[in-house]
Amino acid sequence: MHVDPFIDPHPNLTPAVLQGLGWLYLVLSVMNVFWCARVLKQDEHVRIRLFGMLGKGVEIPRAASWAIYSSILATIAFMHMSWSSAEYIGKFWLSLTPDGLIESSIDSIVANPVSYFVLSIAGTAMMIFFREWLVKPTVGWIMLNVAILFMALSMTDYDFRQIVGKPDNVPIVALLYLVGGFTWLYFFHAVENDRRLENWDGEGAIPVLNNEDNEKVLVWPDLVYAELICMIAVTTVLIAWGIVLDAPLEEPASSAKTPNPSKAPWYFLGLQEMLVYYDPWLAGVVFPTMIIGGLIAVPYIDFNKVGNGYYVFKQRAFSVITFLFGFLTLWVAMIILGTFLRGPNWNIFGIYEFWDVHKLVALNNVMLSELFWVDLVTPITGFAPEYKNSDPESVKTLMILIREAPGFIALIAYFTVLPPLMAISCLKTFFHRMGFLRYMVFTHFLLMMAALPLKMVLRWTFNLKYLVNIPEWFFNI
Amino acid sequence: MTVSAACYAESTHSMSVGDYIRGSQIWKSIFRHPAPYDRRNRIVVMLTNFFLHLHPVSVKQQGIALSYTWCMGGITFFLFLVETITGVLLMFYYRPTLEWAYQDILALRDVTTLGVMREIHRWGAHAMVITVWLHMYRVFLTGSYKPPREFNWVVGVLLLVLTLLLSFTGYLLPWDQLAIWAITVGSNMARATPVLGHEGPGFQLLNLGGYDLITSGSDARFLLLGSRFVGEETLNRFYILHCVAIPLVAAGLIAIHFWRIRKDGGISQPL
């Protein structure tokens, strides 16, 4: 099929896209050439047997496979660059098929909050569990390659480019890769330090990375030169970024024309995503305050004295796991969701999906009080906590409190029963080492943090909108 | 024989221009010692230079290893400086009024020489949000918030909040659709502040003889916006917060943050 980019308003491939991708593949190819040289230095071989066809097999250097991979990438790069004129585009084959198998299966996973969150939580858990395998340089390198290839292939989709290519969204793509890279780097150091500490007899200096021959050096030149180079690098990146990408400027402000969707700045999209599950007074005011308060409280509730000044996992497993889940799944993953997947009417869209304003999603959320009274108690007893507008305030208040009693009881139990219960069971040592006050502060922040995923699960399983629903007082939980 | 006379005497031998400048009275009045080519002067330079005295004279190798620090705190501070410089330059052009704000940004994009300052300012701001998160990420993962650095972590959290507020207040200034609606969405939250927002739980608690004190014209959102909706008062308010108020507080806290790094024993390291 011949697609003319000047006619198709939503072209998946254009000469500019192919040209850009050509450069991306070229960079990736060059990166792999360096990797290939690194593997070659290690001088490792693999035996190829080809199902016995080669007898005992032949030994080839492991670098050979990387060399083949790099040259394929280079070929792909030149293919993109030389075929990037309009006449070839219709015949170009290295692109995602619109609504094909890959696109639709990826979209069906990410465009569903349940699978999205389960995947992000499972991903973090697997990363922690398989960390020793993850930190192998080859594994890390392959993951980086897959991430870049995924991005490159996805760029051949028009709708994907529309979201990712928005100037203000570019930093989030960078954030994604940076967070991934630094998390890998953390595990790389932590796993090595864990191993060293396990075999340590407690004599001499603690045998963590960078601590052998840890001599004092003069700040001039060792630090100030590094800083100078860093400043020059950052300046170069900023200037290049500023020249290549224009800062966004939309139409002049108009309070009469509400854009759909209306989004907060990207770094607040995790908070805006919470609005789906909690009312503004919680999602927009209480929870952000709790996040700040919880962060401030961190050094005062962490009673673990070891693990200060080096990357480590085993010595601080609980605090690291809590922080990784908080930062990766409840903050970064929510920002990604809010930025890339939330479209018109705050509906969720796949990364390759067109943002259709008319997409309809059934909303049939219920309140806990409805589940309790309407479905359970009133049909049996005949009693319903209702009031008329003519009733006195005290009757109204009483009826509201009775109506919402199930939610209040659940919440009070959550915050008052769970902490002592955990103190005598799973968090016994914590309670003893922290003392009462510290433990209470700690568990309440922890329960607050868990409140978000818990409400999500309640929403997905029972369509639960509010535990406590008192619109009369603007009080919904 | 005075020092300058000695220099002159030396200069009768072959002397490069560089040596002549470094021997001059002007140079020596600024830099009190020879260039940091030898160990002694490399120590002295750290003690006598105002900008360098932020650092100690010497540090443990591990504390400055890039694989350990990720350099994110330093980059964040450098980006703060970049934002200050580009921000001041932008202030020469930009007028925070409904009449001019959008026009001035348009001019910066299309005609103003070095209008790329706006791009650098905006991308620098986004980058700063990211680097400040990554800095916190690494400080947590190295356990550097532990004693004796607890309080400096608290200062850091406040700086994180200020970074986000700086970015948020700056978001409004271009006065385009993206700007006012992002701020509208963001500030609508304040309407629901418990007790202090006119749609928040418990706002009825503050009343005087049955009259609500908290209305759409007197609640937390009104305080933030200076108006019932994002308008000219908001633009002025955010402009001052963005250009003066928050940077001043942030600069103060940055000074405390750096001071405490030194006083708490330098960059954290294994004991």
What's the pLDDT score for residue A183?
Answer: 97
Instruction: Tell if the CB–CB gap between A210 and B161 is shorter than 8 Å.
Output: no
Which of A200, A236, A308, A476 to mutate to test binding with chain B, by most B CBs within 10 Å of its CB?
A308
**What DSSP designation does B33 have?**
S
Q: What is the Cα gyration radius of chain B? A: 26
Structure tokens at B265: 């024993």
Hey, which residues does B94 pair with through a beta bridge? none
For chain A, how many residues are written? 477
What's the pLDDT score for residue A293?
Answer: 97
Going by C-beta distance under 8 Å and a sequence separation of 6 or more, which residues neighbour residue B209? none
* pLDDT interval class at A53 (50, 70, 90): confident
Q: At what angle do helices B72-91 and B116-141 cross, to 10 degrees?
A: 160
Q: Rounded to a whole number, what is the distance in Å from the CA of A184 to chain B's nearest CA?
A: 12
Q: Chain B contact for A156, CB < 8 A? A: no
Distance CA(A466)–CA(A372), nearest Å, equals: 12
Q: Which residues of B touch A300 (CB under 8 A)?
A: 150
Number of neighbours of residue A273 by Cβ within 10 angstroms = 24
- Is the pLDDT reported for residue B5 higher than 60? no
For chain B, how many residues are written? 271
ipTM of the modeled complex: 0.93
- Is the pLDDT reported for residue A387 higher than 90? no
Nearest to B167 by CA among B123, B109, B119: B123
- Is the pLDDT reported for residue B7 higher than 80? no
- What is the distance, to the nearest Å, from the Cα of residue B69 to the centroid of all Cα atoms in its chain? 19
Report which of residues A211 and A150 the model is more confident about. Answer: A150
For B127-153, the pLDDT digits (tens) are: 999 999 999 999 999 999 999 999 999
Instruction: Tell if the CB–CB gap between B186 and A265 is shorter than 8 Å.
Output: yes
Instruction: Tell if the CB–CB gap between A265 and B59 is shorter than 8 Å.
Output: no
Hey, which residues does A218 pair with through a beta bridge? B58
Q: Chain B contact for A336, CB < 8 A? A: no
Nearest to A365 by CA among A280, A261, A473, A467: A467
Q: At what angle do helices A170-198 and A137-154 cross, to 10 degrees?
A: 170
Q: Rounded to a whole number, what is the distance in Å from the CA of A452 to chain B's nearest CA?
A: 18
Provide mean pLDDT across the span A286-305.
95
Nearest to A87 by CA among A14, A169, A151: A14
Distance CA(B114)–CA(B130), nearest Å, equals: 25
Considering CB atoms only, which of A171, A255, A306 is closest to B180?
A: A255
Distance CA(A227)–CA(A229), nearest Å, equals: 5
What's the pLDDT score for residue B10?
Answer: 52
Quick one: CA torsion of A173, A179, A182, A187, rounded to 10 degrees?
-130
A-B interface: how many C-beta pairs under 8 angstroms? Answer: 274
Considering CB atoms only, which of B58, B62, B203 is closest to A210?
A: B62
Considering CB atoms only, which of B153, B164, B189 is closest to A298?
A: B153
* pLDDT interval class at A56 (50, 70, 90): confident
Give the range among A399-408, B2-11, B45-54 with minimum mean pLDDT.
Answer: B2-11
- Is the pLDDT reported for residue A422 higher than 50? yes
Provide mean pLDDT across the span B86-92.
96
Phi-psi region of A50 (alpha: psi -120 to 50; beta: other; left: phi over 0): left
State the DSSP string of A304-351.
--S--SS--SGGGHHHHHHHHIIIIIIIIHHHHIIIIIB-GGG-B--T
Residue type, A421: L
Q: Chain B contact for A139, CB < 8 A? A: no
Distance CA(A370)–CA(A361), nearest Å, equals: 22
Q: Rounded to a whole number, what is the largest CA-CA distance in chain B?
A: 94
Let me know: does A149 contact A93? Beta carbons within 8 Å: no
Distance CA(B99)–CA(B95), nearest Å, equals: 9
Which domains are assigned to chain B? Answer: 3-54 (no CATH), 61-263 (1.20.810.10)
Residue type, A22: G
- Is the pLDDT reported for residue A1 higher than 50? no
